Amino acid sequence: MTQSKTKELISTIKTKDSLTAVRVAMDLNELQDKTTGQLIELVATMDKNMKLLATKVLELEKRYYEGF
């Protein structure tokens, strides 16, 4: 939704309950944005850890096979 459409929609709201509903929706959207950001960080950390683990496994395999 564009900014002008958002302003137009908000300007049509006439009752206090409607304004409250808009505020709740905006707060929920903000919370969802934060949660999404946290999930992105979590996945990035997991990816980094998996790459580190794979590197360590390769290093151990190399040492193991060099021993034979």
Q: What is the pLDDT of residue 60?
A: 95
| Beta carbons of 13 and 19 less than 8 angstroms apart | yes
Per-residue 3-state assignment (H helix, E strand, C coil) for the chain? CCHHHHHHHHHCCCCHHHHHHHHHHHHHHHHHHHHHHHHHHHHHHHHHHHHHHHHHHHHHHHHHHHCC
Query: Which band of pLDDT confidence, cut at 50, 70 and 90, is reported for residue 61?
Result: very high
Longest dimension (CA), the chain: 81
Calculate ∠ Cα 42-35-23, nearest 5°: 170
Q: How confident is the model at residue 1 (pLDDT cuts 50, 70, 90)?
A: low
